[in-house]
Amino acid sequence: MSDVLARLPLSAIRVFEAAARLKSFTRAADALGVTQAAVSWQVKALEQRLDQPLFNRLPREVTLTPAGERLSRAATEAMSLLRAAVSDLVETEEGVLSITTVQSLGGQWLAPRLGGFQIAHPRIAVRLEASSRVIDLTREGVDMALRGGHGKWPGMTAHFLIPAVQTPLVSPEFLARIGGLSKPEDLLEVQRIGIAREWDEWFQAAGVTASPQKLDPRLASDAQALEVASALASHGAALGSPIFFARELAEGRLIMPFEVVARYTGGYWLAYPSDRARVRKIAAFRDWVLAQAAADPLIAHYAAMPPLRAPTASPLTRSQP
């Protein structure tokens, strides 16, 4: 029996896969570095060989026909496997490893440890991008992500890294200025920094009930690191992770006035495209960062805590902290 693929040029399949995935001949042309006319010609030639249309050509867009949908699923899977195999053959443990991460995790926990990774892997240069935007790793040229959530992203392999926990943090100067804090209820009467809902959840964990007016902080941002920076400047009490700010706590620049810590559902994860799991620089960083998390006693301590009962309770639901 003859091979049906022998009469189909691989270049046409590659062009079709890009056009189907991007839902545009123009975007496919940009991605492949060819003209839009070349994409249209390759797709038309493929349709002629198969003797059936693969796209519906509309005035401002193209959509897949049922035959196109079927071929698109197979072509995307085949191209992903081919890319992964080629990457595994040609990638060496060198080059640039690009990582996207949220501000607090990247700046407070990861960055101080990165020197150890670069000593162990001197041929890999790390490019770290701190952003609250969730980046599409399959399309935006970024290798890995350290992101908040529940670890379920289509096409991604995710490893749990750090639990999402928060507790009030204050500076010694602020604590002295207000005359100290003897019980959690005292925080209702001081300047608080952060999201009202998150303060409400922490007060519930501490067994404190209060009116909504009492729970309304006067200052909030979209990043935990910025809020705790305000607490470091003695502007109030901020909710922050004792894991991320362990150094400031150990140095006495921040104080946890109470032992009550809210553990939220979800957490922070290391994620990367599943079809790139064997790329050496990705595997090297994965093994290293998971070992770093396993060696952090605070992570083990807080990961053992039960999360709050509220199913949506998590600081990860805002722009990631």
Q: What is the pLDDT of residue 139?
A: 72
Contact of 321 with 181, CB cutoff 8 Å: no
The pLDDT score that the predictor gives to residue 87 is: 64
More confident residue, 90 or 73: 73
Side-chain-side CA neighbours of 126 within 13 Å: the count stands at 25
In this prediction, residue 314 has a pLDDT band, given cuts at 50, 70 and 90, of low
Report whether pLDDT(92) > 60. no
pLDDT tens digits, 67-89: 999 999 998 888 877 776 676 66
The model's confidence at residue 29, banded by pLDDT at 50, 70 and 90, is: very high
DSSP 100: E
Would you tell me how many other CB atoms lie within 10 Å of the CB of residue 70? 12
Question: With pLDDT > 70 as the criterion, what percentage of the chain qualifies?
Answer: 90
Q: Are 273 and 138 in contact (CB under 8 A)?
A: yes
Kindly report whether the global pTM for this prediction surpasses the value 0.75. Answer: no
Specify the pLDDT at position 225.
Answer: 86
Which whole number is the average pLDDT over 192-199? 89
> Could you identify the residue written with the tokens 């072509």?
75
SS3 99: strand
Report CA Rg, the chain. Answer: 25
Question: With 70 as the cut, is the pLDDT of residue 21 above it?
Answer: yes
Q: Model confidence over 232-271: pLDDT tens digits?
A: 999 999 999 999 999 999 999 999 999 999 998 889 999 9
The band of 113, judged by pLDDT with boundaries at 50, 70 and 90, is: very high
Average pLDDT over residues 134-150: 84
Average pLDDT over residues 133-149: 83
pLDDT digits (tens, 9 = 90+) for 155-176: 899 999 999 999 999 999 999 9
